[in-house]
Each structure stands twice: as C-alpha cells, then as structure tokens.
C-alpha cells in the first residue's frame, strides 16, 4: 500500500479531524474518542483509528509517495519515521540526524508541509525552547497527539 497523503482539518479547537487515507475519508472526534466512517475494509484506516485510540501502532511498512521531495526532504522524512513513539526531537536534532546539522529551518519547513500525518510523525518535533507549532491544526492538537504517546509538554 502506498499513501499519497493523509490530510486533516480541525473544525474549531481540535475537536474533530478528517483524514484521507488511501482515498477513504476517516473522521475522528477527540471529544469522544470515536472514529468513523469506515467499513473496516481498509487496514491503514484501522491503524489510524488504533493510533488515535492511544494504541501503539507501527507505520514503518507504509510506503510513501515522495516523488516531489528533494534528497534532503527524503532524508528528513526517513529520519523522522525512525523517531520512536513517546520520544521527541528538536528541529535542530532532526536536521543533524538527517545529515544536515545547522539546517533546523529546513526540518521545520518540511514539517510545515508534511503530507503524511502520523506516518511521518511531525508532532514529535519540537522547538529548542518549547513545543513549537503544528500548522493549521494548532499546538493543542499537537499536545493531544503527544499525550497519546505519553509525552506531556
């Protein structure tokens, strides 16, 4: 299975998310921990549901369409996928681990356009002086995602 993108929109204060995985829409309501609609036939969608339910899920076997990415962006994506659940790295650390020490802005720029939420877990990347941003979803969604993994910031 190859994922072209997973995108989400958060209506209001992180209440719900709408995902597109393998062409199927998936909705998750953080208030009640419910996910739907899905007929259960898409294993990737089920893995997203499990992740959002707080269970440990491995996405390392999910192939990504990175044809658009530069070599540095590919390296950042691969490096970030290796950051274990429950751990965080700074943008500077991510850049250094990807082979480009001194390029934290490049790491941040990649995270800001990350098409593969959860599969490339940008929520695990923080600023040197705090939690950092999380795009349109906002910091509170980032905090909730980290909390699912036992990280409290």
63 falls within a domain = no
Task: Identify the active-site residue in 94, 119, 122, 137.
Answer: 122
Domain residue limits at 138: 69-148
Q: HEC profile for 47-88?
A: HHHHHHCCCCCCCCCCEECCCCCCHHHHHHHHHHHCCCCCCC
Are residues 35 and 88 part of one domain? no
Our answer to whether residue 122 is catalytic in this structure is: yes
Are residues 139 and 85 part of one domain? yes
Q: How far apart are CA 138 and CA 40, in angstroms?
A: 29
Are residues 100 and 144 part of one domain? yes
62 falls within a domain = no
Are residues 83 and 23 part of one domain? no
End-to-end CA distance of the chain: 34
Q: How many domains does the chain have?
A: 2
Are residues 79 and 120 part of one domain? yes
Are residues 75 and 13 part of one domain? no
Residue found by looking up tokens 């490339």 in the block: 120
Q: How far apart are CA 94 and CA 101, in angstroms?
A: 8
The per-residue pLDDT for 80 is: 96
- Pairing assessment for the beta strands 24-29 and 34-36 based on DSSP bridges: antiparallel
Longest dimension (CA), the chain: 46
The per-residue pLDDT for 66 is: 83
Banded model confidence at residue 62, pLDDT cuts 50, 70, 90: confident
Compute the CA torsion angle 121, 124, 125, 128 (nearest 10 deg): 180
Q: Which of 16-30, 70-84, 103-117, 123-137 has the lowest mean pLDDT?
A: 16-30
pTM of the complete model beyond 0.85: no
Phi, psi of 29, deg, nearest 5: -110, 110
Asked if pLDDT for residue 73 goes beyond 80, the answer is: yes
What 3-state class would DSSP assign to 143?
A: helix
Phi, psi of 150, deg, nearest 5: 85, 10
Asked if pLDDT for residue 26 goes beyond 80, the answer is: no
CATH of the domain at 118: 1.10.10.10
């Amino acid at each position: 299975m190859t994922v072209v993108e997973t995108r989400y929109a958060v209506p209001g204060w992180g209440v719900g998310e709408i995902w597109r995985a393998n062409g199927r829409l998936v909705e998750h309501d953080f208030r009640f921990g419910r996910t739907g609609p899905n007929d259960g036939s898409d294993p990737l969608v089920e893995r997203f549901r499990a992740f959002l339910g707080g269970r440990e899920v491995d996405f390392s076997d999910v192939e990504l369409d990175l044809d658009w990415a530069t070599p540095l962006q590919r390296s950042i994506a691969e490096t970030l996928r290796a950051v274990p659940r429950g751990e965080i790295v700074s943008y500077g650390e991510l850049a250094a681990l990807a082979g480009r020490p001194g390029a934290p802005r490049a790491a941040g720029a990649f995270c800001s356009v990350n098409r593969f939420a959860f599969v490339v877990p940008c929520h695990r990347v923080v600023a040197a002086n705090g939690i950092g941003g999380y795009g349109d979803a906002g910091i509170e969604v980032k905090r909730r995602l980290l909390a699912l993994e036992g990280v409290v910031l």
